[in-house]
């Protein structure tokens, strides 16, 4: 993460290119992983998985995406935050599930149980990909954010704050009216 932040700070265009390359390589790697898993485990094992496990693997990510988006809407979050909460809620930690299975059950029993995290990862990735693709194709215009007015400046950086040298008035303002007289005017702050 630190290396990514450094590259983004020093070379923003290179960072954009690296993000595109890494996303495509991740997609290709996931497709290869799913193909290899399916061929190595064989169609026999896939056929022995009950239909209810397939249904749960399909519906669980969808429920997470819908619940995340719905709760973000209830709490009146902006559209870009709603999408983020939706994807973060729907994409659960498959690696944690796999580790729990490996540490809890003996290897003889894991065979069929190990298929659920793989199916879940497959369907959550496919569904997330479909949502992102649909957003890229159809939803971008409907979620345009309001542009800021000319009087609103959103450039918040340490350099900018240092240049402005804004006085800290959180405890009040000290004023001097005469040479030997100092007055403290308290300020009302709300947290």
Q: Tell whether 182 is covered by a domain.
A: no
Contact in structure between 147 and 132 (CB atoms under 8 Å): no
| Residue 61 pLDDT exceeds 90 | no
Contact in structure between 117 and 50 (CB atoms under 8 Å): no
Q: How many domains in the chain?
A: 2
Lowest mean pLDDT among 89-98, 131-140, 171-180: 171-180
| Residue 74 pLDDT exceeds 80 | yes
| Residue 146 pLDDT exceeds 50 | no
For 191, half-sphere exposure in the C-beta direction (CA atoms, 13 angstrom radius) is: 1
Other Cβ atoms within 10 Å of 72 Cβ, number:
20
d(CA 75, CA 73): 5
55 and 36 within one domain: no
Final residue belonging to a domain, choices 145, 165, 180: 145
pLDDT of residue 117: 82
83 and 140 within one domain: yes
Average per-residue pLDDT for the chain: 75
Q: Tell whether 161 is covered by a domain.
A: no
65 and 137 within one domain: yes
Q: Which residue has the higher pLDDT, 165 or 127?
A: 127
Q: Tell whether 174 is covered by a domain.
A: no
pLDDT of residue 86: 87
| Residue 2 pLDDT exceeds 70 | yes
54 and 132 within one domain: yes
Average pLDDT over residues 123-146: 72
Q: Tell whether 66 is covered by a domain.
A: yes
57 and 33 within one domain: no
Among candidates 155, 141, 128, 153, which has minimal Cα distance to 61? 128
pLDDT in tens, 11-48: 999 988 998 888 788 778 877 877 777 777 666 666 77
53 and 37 within one domain: no
Exposed e or buried b per residue across 133-159, where buried means at least 16 C-beta atoms within 10 angstroms of its C-beta: eeeeeeeeeeeeeeeeeeeeeeeeeee
109 and 62 within one domain: yes
Domain carrying residue 38: 1-42
pLDDT of residue 76: 93
138 and 67 within one domain: yes
Residue 184, beta-bridge partner list: 174
Average pLDDT over residues 131-155: 61
Final residue belonging to a domain, choices 109, 124, 145: 145
57 and 17 within one domain: no
Q: Tell whether 38 is covered by a domain.
A: yes
54 and 127 within one domain: yes
pLDDT of residue 131: 80
Whether pTM exceeds 0.85 = no
Other Cβ atoms within 10 Å of 65 Cβ, number:
22
Q: Tell whether 125 is covered by a domain.
A: yes
């Amino acid at each position: 993460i630190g290396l990514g932040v450094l590259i983004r700070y020093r070379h923003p265009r290179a960072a954009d290119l690296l993000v595109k390359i890494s996303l495509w390589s991740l997609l290709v790697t996931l497709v290869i992983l799913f193909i290899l898993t399916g061929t190595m485990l064989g169609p026999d094992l896939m056929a022995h998985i009950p239909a209810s496990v397939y249904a749960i693997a399909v519906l669980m990510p969808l429920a997470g995406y819908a619940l995340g988006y719905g709760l973000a809407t209830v709490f009146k979050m902006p559209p870009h935050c709603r999408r983020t909460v939706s994807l973060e809620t729907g994409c659960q930690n498959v690696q944690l599930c796999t580790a729990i299975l490996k540490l809890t059950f003996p290897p003889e029993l894991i065979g069929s149980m190990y298929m659920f995290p793989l199916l879940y990862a497959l369907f959550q990735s496919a569904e997330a990909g479909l949502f992102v693709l649909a957003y890229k194709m159809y939803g971008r215009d409907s979620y345009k954010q309001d542009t800021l007015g000319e009087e609103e400046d959103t450039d918040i950086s340490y350099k900018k704050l240092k240049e402005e040298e804004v006085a800290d008035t959180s405890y009040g303002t000290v004023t001097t009216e005469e040479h030997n007289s100092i007055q403290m005017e308290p300020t009302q702050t709300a947290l």
